[in-house]
Amino acid sequence: MNRMSENKYKGFEADRSKYPEMKDGKPVIDLESHKYTKIWQGPQHPGVTGNMALELIIDGDEVVDTKTRVGYLHRAFEKLMERRRYIQCFPIVCRICVPEPDTNEYCVSAAMEDLSGIVVPEKAQWLRTLNLEMSRVGSFLMWLGGQAGSIGMGAIGQWTVGMRDFWLDLFEEMTGGRVYHMYMIPGGVRKDLPDGFKDRARDLIIRTRKLLVNIENTFFNNIIVKSRLKGLGIITPEMVDEYGIVGPNARASGRECDIRINNPYVKYGELDIKMITSNGCDAYARAELRYQELLQSLDLVSQILDKIPEKGEIQAKLPNVLHWKIPAGQTYVKAESTRGEHGFYMVSDGSEFPRRVFARGASYTHAISLLEKLAVNISISDTAALMVSLHTCPPEIER
Amino acid sequence: MKLKDILSPLRVWERAAQKPWTIKDPINDRPGATNYRGFHKNDFNKCIGCGSCEEICQNAAIDLVPVEGQETKDGNSGLRPMIDYGRCCWCALCVDVCPTGSLTMSNKYTWVADMPEEYRFVPGKTETKWQESEKGYKRSEDIHLIDYERVEMLEIKPEKRDKSFIEIVKGYNKEQAMKEAERCLECGICIATCPAHMDIPAYIAAIREDDIENAFRILYETNPLPEICGRICTHKCETACALHNNGESLAIRWLKRYIADQIPSEKYKEVLGTEHLDDPKIGKSIAIIGAGPAGISAAYYLAIMGYKIKIFEALPDSGGMTRYGIPEYRLPYDQIDKDIEYIKSLGVEMQFNTRVGKDITLDKLHKDYDAVFAGTGLHLGRSTRIPGADNKRVYFATDLLREVSLGNEIDVAENIVVIGGGNVAMDITRTLARLQNKKYGKIQILTTSLESEDIMPADREEIVEAREEKAIIDPGWGPKEIEIQNGKIKGLHVVKCLSVFDEEGRFNPKFDDKQKKFFKADMVVESIGQGMDLSYLSEDIKSNLKFGPRGRIQVNENFQSNLKWLFVGGDIIQGPDVIHGVANGYIAAKAIDGFLNKNDKRRKK
Ligand SMILES: Cc1cc2nc3c(=O)[nH]c(=O)nc-3n(C[C@H](O)[C@H](O)[C@H](O)COP(=O)(O)OP(=O)(O)OC[C@H]3O[C@@H](n4cnc5c(N)ncnc54)[C@H](O)[C@@H]3O)c2cc1C
Ligand code: SF4
Ligand code: SF4
Ligand code: SF4
């Protein structure tokens, strides 16, 4: 229990000196020695978040080295966009994150708006805020089920994924799509809220809160959960800068970083929102923090529902999208996804097609360099829990 | 270790007592949301086959295909979108961009088919379970991916123009033109409707690229009168324009004018690459009767092919009805000159004041030239033949308009009545109103037509502008008699016209003699259409020539008469408007070239 608690703030260089031997800063792993075994976790494995794989070197049941292997779902989104008109990009980018597509939709539109000086109408801003916060709820629910599942608590996954479906119902009403919403378009959003939407959303918030009480009782106040997650995957405050860690992973290590608060976009500046942090630094602290943020998101959704103006434009007038040219320039826009800072860098050469789009997802850091470090010296039975505790999302790595 | 952490998880059983969330029969018990982006539907009555859906689809999931039962007609290509569900991502961009709103989606979730091929289907044609479904995603009126509002064209204010013949329409500047050009969908629906089949989307694209010289070259590929057409074309293309289905059609005519206005006369040859055409290379010559749009168009295309061209024109200058009919405030003479001087500069000879049939015979032209093209237009006025119509103060509109253009003074009366509801009637009304205003300082002109206002053939803006200039338009009356006292006109008696056409659509006006009106006047102008004067055809030629309905010379699709050397076009065959003349002239020119070179190997490139 709490295997790593003694070396909580020592980093793992000390541990790495145990196994295997280090030479020129690299572990010497001689598989022929029969001391180590190499096994693959993923890409087809229930304990992997999406299509990626961990190449694990184990000694007994202890992981001594790991490599994150990607390349299973590369669809070249960034490159595709270079061959698409600006308006044709929004149906592409949502695919960069299945559980939380909306951050991508927001960023790509906001980048175009920024470059071309389009001002998004007030109401559309509110609808975007609603959409973004709802997507955070959906993503957290899915993650929560995953975290519970990763330590064998399948029931909670059933509950949260079931509840997420009700949120997808709301998305379906609002956007016309359940998973890929394609709701935000340059200039604003595509549809106003349907009649009665707000009431149904408020009702769902109540139902979700009720479920979360169940989850608090069964998951967070649970000796097994605590024993498995506490002390797992410690991110020291120093590591936050060293690795470029963002989002809940950073906040659970005491770092006050949340773009919604530090650099408010859409209507976040007009909401009552407080930074949530913790000093726990481990997987349990991250889980608890995400749980708090889920409750906060539910609160934000109801705040937004109260504030959306009844009347108003939902989209700024665009030039004919078939020939829309954006003035030459470059921009970086960012938003807070449930995994942290999510950003789009966009370059326009003044033509009808983006010259370069770069999508920055938090998982690039979290699932590669960070995970490869944190996985060393843990038990193989904890790799899934560790991975989920970093909330990694492979399509974000492979854009 | 807390005891709570051991006991609390047992509350997992609480949920066992709760009602399950699952739905027994989700497909039926839980239909898709009203707004769901399900399978596509297409309303064939609305779809115009513009292909904007195909153009916008980022998955290349749409192909426009011919569909049985759908025909190509004005404003409708007859093609329909076929969607490949192996590619579609249900983004509904196609729905949002569809200018007619015909393409929508249903709220259906599932579709099971045996063969993968079935998932490639033509919504609206392929029988589907959802074609009739009311619910599903539709284009919202609140979003704007296409601009349906025209860039406003500035005009001289009525009070500034009703005394002068200054051009009313100001024309677009660069910024306005580029903004307007931006709106085009590049669907090409307009091309089929334009009688000259001008490559409209291409020259509009060139405006967007600010490559005016290229735009200008594209214009000349099919139309050598862009300054004229850019001002007064009947713009049938605009009626067909896809944008018209959800807003204002593209201002194609004004954009054409914008292009032509940007190129100064002295650059024409350089831009069009016609600097070294001067000596006719082919050694054949063609006579053209009439320097109207049809004759000039034929002359231009023959001249650039290297033929020697001579135009014989009865009037003292070129342009036909564009100069001697259309008033200067719509089409200034210098713009006509700009178009035509360039054509003259290519070596096209024009002999004015020469009426064929009087000053020179058609037989002689036949003898001296390899081929003849006749585009003599409609210059004879038509009379109502009501009592009093033979008074000397009763005029034909076209005669008066010609006099104005010739610079001759017209004895304008203080009270004028115009009979007619077409554009020519508006032209004469507004011309005479200006002259009245100049002479008397006031306007007292009334125009009446058989047709009620909703079916008046004149363009709406002509009626509006005439009224702005204080002319009275009182439609829906049939002229009965021009009252004459002591040889002087007193006015026009009219009765209510109930309908103009009968059930079969034939001209057969019905009147209500009990509803009467009297329009006071001391001058009456008849503007009820024009006829052709074919007196230049000698008896010999006439007896060999085949005629079609309404006394028209019969021609084949190349505007060639049964006398192979004689080609005929313009108002006397088709139209009547400038662009038909231009189109006829173009086709005839190509056909004359073919006719003269059929067995001729001498032809040099
Ligand atoms: C008042 C008015 C307004 C109009 N407004 C428009 C408009 O806004 N838009 C539009 O598109 N169209 C308009 N039209 C119609 C348009 O002007 C004609 O359709 C067009 O000019 C026809 O061209 P054409 O070459 O066939 O004949 P015309 O332009 O009539 O030219 C025929 C020429 O042949 C000459 N000619 C005739 N007989 C002989 C002969 N025996 N020998 C030598 N020469 C001869 C005539 O003098 C004339 O110059 C208008 C017409 C009128 C009368
Ligand atoms: S965009 Fe609409 S009108 Fe045009 S072809 Fe497609 S479905 Fe038909
Ligand atoms: S829904 Fe999207 S992907 Fe499907 S056909 Fe329409 S534009 Fe193409
Ligand atoms: S002008 Fe109108 S009909 Fe012609 S290509 Fe453009 S949008 Fe289509």
Chain B: closest CA distance from residue A76 (Å) = 14
Q: Which residue has the tokens 């944008």?
A: B243
Domains of chain B, each with CATH number or no CATH: 26-121 (3.30.70.3270), 158-271 (1.10.1060.10), 281-379+532-604 (3.50.50.60), 382-530 (3.50.50.60)
- Rounded to the nearest angstrom, the minimum Cα separation between B5 and chain A is 4
* pLDDT tens figures, B174-189: 999 999 999 999 999 9
> Residue A180: which of A113, A121, A131, A114 has the closest Cα?
A131
Task: Return the beta strands (E) in B352-393 as ranges.
Answer: 371-374, 378-381
8 A C-beta contact, residue A213 and residue B168: no
The residues facing B501 across adjacent strands are B507
Q: Tally C-beta pairs within 8 A across A and B.
A: 126
Q: Report which ligand 3 atom has the smallest distance to the Cα of B105.
A: 1
Q: B51 near B98, Cβ under 8 Å?
A: no
Q: Could you say which residues from 343 to 372 on chain A have a Cβ atom under 8 Å away from some Cβ of chain B?
A: none
Q: From the CB of residue B214, how many other CB atoms can be counted at a distance below 10 Å?
A: 17
pLDDT at B131: 86
| Contacts with B89 from chain A: Cβ below 8 Å | 91, 180
Amino acid at site A259:
I
Above 70 in pLDDT, residue B88? yes
Token pair in block for residue B412: 């304008």
Q: Contact, A337 vs A247, CB < 8 A?
A: yes
Q: Given a cut of 60, is residue A4 above it in pLDDT?
A: no
What does pLDDT average to over chain A? Answer: 91
Interface membership of A192 toward B (CB under 8 Å): yes
Please tell me the distance in Å from A373's CA to the nearest CA on chain B.
Answer: 30
Whole-prediction pTM = 0.89
Q: What pLDDT, on a 0 to 100 scale, did the predictor assign at position B480?
A: 93
The whole-angstrom separation of Cα A113 and Cα A99 is 25
pLDDT tens track for A126-161:
999 999 999 999 999 999 999 999 999 989 999 999
Nearest chain A CA: its distance from B94 CA (Å): 10
Chain centre distance of CA B489: 39
How far apart CA B554 and CA A296 sit, in angstroms, is: 83
Mean residue pLDDT of chain B comes to 93
Q: What are the chain A neighbours of B51 within 8 Å (beta carbons)?
A: none
For residue A117, what are the contacts with CB-CB under 8 A and spacing of at least 6? A327
- Give the model confidence (pLDDT) of B568-592 as tens digits: 999 999 989 999 999 999 999 999 9
For the segment A40-94, what is each residue's pLDDT rounded down to a tens digit? 998 887 777 778 899 999 988 889 889 999 888 888 999 999 999 999 999 999 9
In this predicted model, what pLDDT tens digit does every residue of B261-293 receive, in sequence order? 999 999 999 999 988 775 666 789 999 999 999
Residue A387 has pLDDT above 80, yes or no: yes
pLDDT of residue A143: 95
Q: Is A242 on the interface with B (CB under 8 A)?
A: no
Contact, B351 vs B310, CB < 8 A?
yes
Residues A172-204 have pLDDT tens digits of 999 999 999 999 999 999 999 999 999 999 999
Residues of B with CB under 8 A from a CB of A: 1-2, 4-6, 8-9, 11-12, 14-15, 21, 32-37, 52, 55-56, 58-59, 89-93, 96-97, 105, 137, 140, 142-147, 182-186, 208
CA-to-CA dists, residue B494 to A195, B458, B528, angstroms? 58, 20, 15
Beta-strand pair A21-23/A26-28: antiparallel
- CATH code, A77-398: 1.10.645.10
Q: Tokens standing for A307? A: 């504030």
In terms of Cβ atoms closer than 10 Å to its own Cβ (0-12, 13-18, 19+), residue A68 is buried
Q: Degrees (nearest 5) of the Cα angle A371, A223, A65?
A: 20
pLDDT of residue B60: 95
Distance CA B21, CA A384 (A): 28
Query: A122 to each of A307, B145, B451, how far by Cα in Å?
Result: 11, 19, 51
Q: Which ligand is nearest to the CA of B89?
A: 3
Q: What is the pLDDT of residue A9?
A: 43
Q: How far is the CA of B191 from the centre of ligand 4 (A)?
A: 8
- Enumerate residues lining ligand 1, CB below 6 A: B 232-234, 289-295, 312-315, 320-322, 325-326, 355-357, 375-377, 379, 398, 401, 423-424, 427, 536, 570-571, 575-579, 581
User: What is the rounded CA–CA span in Å between residue B328 and residue B166?
Assistant: 7
| Neighbouring C-beta atoms of residue B517, cutoff 10 Å | 15
Cα separation values, B147 from B28, B180, B188, B254, Å: 40, 9, 17, 17
Tokens of A172: 């379906």
Cβ neighbours of residue B272 closer than 8 Å, sequence gap 6 or more: B216, B217, B220
Q: Is the pLDDT of residue B604 over 60?
A: no
pLDDT band at A14 (very low <50, low <70, confident <90, very high): very low
User: Is there a contact between A185 and B143 if contact means CB atoms under 8 Å apart?
Assistant: yes
Residue that is written with structure tokens 């594209």 in the block: B218
Least confident of A33-47, A58-72, A384-398, B87-101: A33-47
Residue with tokens 């099971």: B112
Pick from B523, B521, B519, B473: which is nearest to B495 by CA?
Answer: B519
Residue that has been written with the tokens 């100069």 in this structure = B323
Residue of B nearest to A80 (CA): B58
* Range B479-498 average pLDDT: 93
CA atoms of B590 and B570, how far apart (whole Å) = 15
| Residues B105-143: tens digit of each pLDDT | 999 988 999 998 999 999 999 988 898 889 999 999 999
User: β-strand A184-185 against B416-419: which pairing, if any?
Assistant: unpaired
Whether the per-residue pLDDT at A264 is higher than 60: the answer is yes
Pick the closest to residue B473 from B522, B523, B428, B411 (CA basis). Answer: B428
Q: Give the single-character DSSP code of A180.
A: -
Q: Are A38 and A55 in contact (CB under 8 A)?
A: yes
**pLDDT at residue B208, rounded to an integer:** 95
Q: Report whether residue B52 contacts ligand 2, using a CB cutoff of 6 Å.
A: yes
Residue closest to B431 by CA, chosen among B163, B169, B158, B234: B163
- Position with higher pLDDT, A24 vs B587: B587
- Encoded amino acid at B287, one letter: A
Q: Which of A161, A137, A60 lies closest to A381, judged by CA?
A: A60
Is the pLDDT confidence value at A102 over 70? yes
> What are the structure tokens assigned to B128, written together?
């589907």
The average pLDDT across B375-397 equals 92
Q: How far apart are CA B150 and CA A36, in angstroms?
A: 74
d(CA B221, CA B145): 32
pLDDT tens string A206-243: 999 999 999 999 999 999 999 999 999 999 999 999 99
pLDDT at B279: 64
Residue of A29 and B154 predicted with greater confidence:
B154
Bridge partners, residue A345, by sequence: A332, A358
Q: Determine what percent of chain A is predicted with pLDDT higher than 70.
A: 95
Q: Does residue B598 register a pLDDT over 80? A: no
- For residue range B298-339, what is the model confidence (pLDDT) as tens digits? 999 999 999 999 999 999 999 999 999 999 999 999 999 999
Provide the residue ranges of all domains of chain A, joining segments of one domain with +: 77-398
Residues of chain A above pLDDT 90, percent: 79
